[in-house]
Amino acid sequence: MEIRTLQYFLAVAREQNITGAANMLHITQPTLSRQMADLEQELGKKLFIRTNRSTLLTEDGIRLRQRAEEIVSLVQQTKSEISDDQPELTGCIRIGAGETPIIHFLTDAFAKLKRKHPGITCELFTGNADTVEDKLSHGLVDFALFIAPFNAEKYESLLLPESNRVGIVTCRDTPWAQLPTITADTLRHIPLLISSRTATDTFDIRQWSQGSITAENLKVVGKFDLIANAAQLIRTGITSALGIDELFQLQTPDLVFIPLEPAVTVSCLVAWKKYQLLSPTCEAFLKGLKEEIHWQGKD
């Protein structure tokens, strides 16, 4: 299986049409059709559902698309790193992160490096812990910011010297919006959106409530991945969300954050793959990040 064949496959997947993909690739339609037929024969799987108007992916084709995107991305990244023999740092730093204001450690470190080396760029990906770790494990991001708890045994990691409070985000018109804190007795009655992360829960709610609440007896309205979209549902007043404070998406007059009592805080850590040969640009970023952590941790 050649990289070029995977690039052709991805073009067909994007265009959902052999002719359109062939035009984009500047090759003939019969040549592209033959390449895709050879790929199906090599894998022993049917990758496409062909109709008169479109070429759609089968279930096996969808799985191949995910892997092909990862492989092509890694090849392009590797070529860029190896071919870059300029003394000035260039290249891209890819960062995945959960939603937390503590990401400022990474963005501040990048900004300082960018001022010294204008040729560098960054890619920022935001998602919950499950999706961010998937990208990190497959080499699609160089560094990842996780909100605890997170099992970092498989990775190199740095603990960041700040934490976030856990509480509820609610519409200002709800009955609990005026409360100073949210206790277990109150939380059991609040319709909630909870995080969609499956690897670990944000915190142990049974332990926090001394056994009076479990994940099963919360009034769960639904789950959310990113708070920006969830905030639109919270504004309707039909639900609140269990989350962290100081997110800029929530700093509007119609939403309030109420911390839990007893107080719960969560820390964050930055992780990267063990035994990975980092590019010079990523090495410089990591050095700057460690300096940022050291100086801000002293404040």
Where do we find the tokens 């937390």? 100
| Structure confidence at residue 1 (pLDDT) | 79
- The count of structural domains within the chain is 3
Torsion angle of C-alpha atoms 65, 67, 72, 73, degrees rounded to 10: 110
Same domain? For 149 and 167 the reply is no
Same domain? For 176 and 230 the reply is yes
| Structure confidence at residue 199 (pLDDT) | 53
Same domain? For 153 and 283 the reply is yes
- Taking the chain (299 residues) in runs of 10, the rounded mean pLDDT of each run is 90 88 88 93 92 88 89 78 68 93 95 95 92 89 92 92 94 94 94 78 82 87 89 94 83 90 94 84 94 73
Last residue of a domain, one of 82, 112, 143: 82
DSSP string, 8-31: HHHHHHHHTSHHHHHHHHTS-HHH
| Structure confidence at residue 76 (pLDDT) | 75
Same domain? For 235 and 288 the reply is no
Same domain? For 72 and 87 the reply is no
| Structure confidence at residue 268 (pLDDT) | 94
Same domain? For 104 and 68 the reply is no
Same domain? For 150 and 174 the reply is no
Domain at 45, CATH number: 1.10.10.10
Domain at 148, CATH number: 3.40.190.10
Same domain? For 218 and 87 the reply is no
Beta bridge pairs of residue 158:
270
Last residue of a domain, one of 82, 106, 126: 82
Where do we find the tokens 């670990």? 200
Q: Would the CA dihedral through 221, 193, 143, 275 be positive or negative?
A: negative
Q: How far apart are CA 35 and CA 182, in angstroms?
A: 61
Q: How far apart are CA 17 and CA 15, in angstroms?
A: 5
| Structure confidence at residue 156 (pLDDT) | 93
Same domain? For 278 and 152 the reply is yes
Q: Which two tokens stand for residue 40?
A: 């199906």
- Say how many C-beta atoms besides its own lie within 10 A of residue 42's C-beta: 10
Among residues 279, 248, 244, 277, which one has the least CA distance to residue 263?
244
Domain at 197, CATH number: 3.40.190.290
Same domain? For 174 and 250 the reply is yes
Q: How far apart are CA 189 and CA 255, in angstroms?
A: 19
The secondary structure of residue 40, as a DSSP letter, is H
For residue 10, the enclosing domain spans 3-82
Same domain? For 187 and 54 the reply is no
Is residue 293 within 8 A of residue 160, CB to CB? The reply is yes
| Structure confidence at residue 297 (pLDDT) | 55
Among residues 295, 299, 280, which one has the least CA distance to residue 117?
280
Cβ neighbours for 252, distance < 8 A, ≥ 6 positions apart: 231
| Structure confidence at residue 248 (pLDDT) | 67
Where do we find the tokens 């549902």? 233
Same domain? For 7 and 71 the reply is yes
| Structure confidence at residue 187 (pLDDT) | 95
Last residue of a domain, one of 82, 113, 135: 82
Is residue 93 within 8 A of residue 145, CB to CB? The reply is no
